[in-house]
Amino acid sequence: MNLVIDAGNTSTKLAVFRKQDLLFHSTTDADGFHKTVKDIFSKFPDIAHALVASVGSLSKRELDVLSIFCKVELLTSVSSVPFKNSYASPATLGVDRIALATAAFYTYPNSNVLVIDAGTCITYDMVNDYGEYLGGAISPGLRMRYRALHEQTARLPMLDPSPFVELIGNTTEKSIHSGVIYGISNEIDGVISEYRSRFEHLTVILTGGDGQFLSNRLKNTIFANSNFLLEGLNYLLDYNKH
């Protein structure tokens, strides 16, 4: 039984797998991490291995607590991966992107797969039908765009994403919503179209915290999978077990 942990910029996700079956998942912040870990091991005492992918602020103390319960591996840029990594600067490749590429490699073998992770940032990651990771792109995420408009101007308010957006905003608030949400949706659609012009039979996966919010606004056909990164971590844990 495996435990995988995705420590992101804004929250930490934990998931328990038996082989490839997801049994449990939870999201917590730094304050609730210890309690969440204890609760997980009380429910699933057979967990023997854990893999941690941290792009956020998971501390050594939290890793030490985790190591009390099971063997812990930390995913890094030098961890073994099942795909061919053609990224020009592999030492700078984020562990979240490594996990997403791994999920694409195993879930859609011998396929062209574009993974879009709509989180704090939006990342685009491409694995081709030869099992080769090519790279992709990084752009500002949904809330980062709202925050930039507020913090980089004198008078624009800070807003939360709205599910009801008019193309033509007739107030400042509606104009911000239109600019951010139509802008990000058209960006994603445009990127997908560019990739589809270069790769035949392209499968597109949309994941991340804002994936569900954005999925119904896209014109291109995509598969939404909110657990894609966790699944990739589980594959990597099995791949790297000693």
Q: Does 94 show up as a binding residue in the annotation?
A: yes
The answer to whether the 2-74 and 84-233 domains have the same CATH topology is yes
Write out pLDDT tens, residues 81-96. Answer: 999 999 999 999 999 9
What is the chain's mean pLDDT, rounded? 94
| 90 DSSP 8-state letter | G
Q: Does 9 show up as a binding residue in the annotation?
A: yes
Quick check: 10 pLDDT over 80? no
Q: Does 120 show up as a binding residue in the annotation?
A: yes
Q: Does 125 show up as a binding residue in the annotation?
A: no
Tell me which H or E stretch contains 171: none
Write out pLDDT tens, residues 166-196. Answer: 999 999 999 999 999 999 999 999 999 999 9
| pLDDT classification of 56: cutoffs 50, 70, 90 | low
Q: Does 172 show up as a binding residue in the annotation?
A: yes
As assigned by CATH, the class of the 2-74 domain is alpha beta
Q: What is the CA radius of gyration of the chain?
A: 19
Write out pLDDT tens, residues 104-121. Answer: 999 999 999 999 999 999
CATH number for the domain formed by residue range(s) 84-233: 3.30.420.40
Q: pTM to 2 decimals?
A: 0.93
For the beta carbon of residue 63, count every other beta carbon within 10 angstroms. Answer: 16
Integer Cα distance of 154 and 183 in angstroms? 22
The catalytic residues are: 96
Domain edges within the chain? 2-74, 84-233
Quick check: 30 pLDDT over 80? no
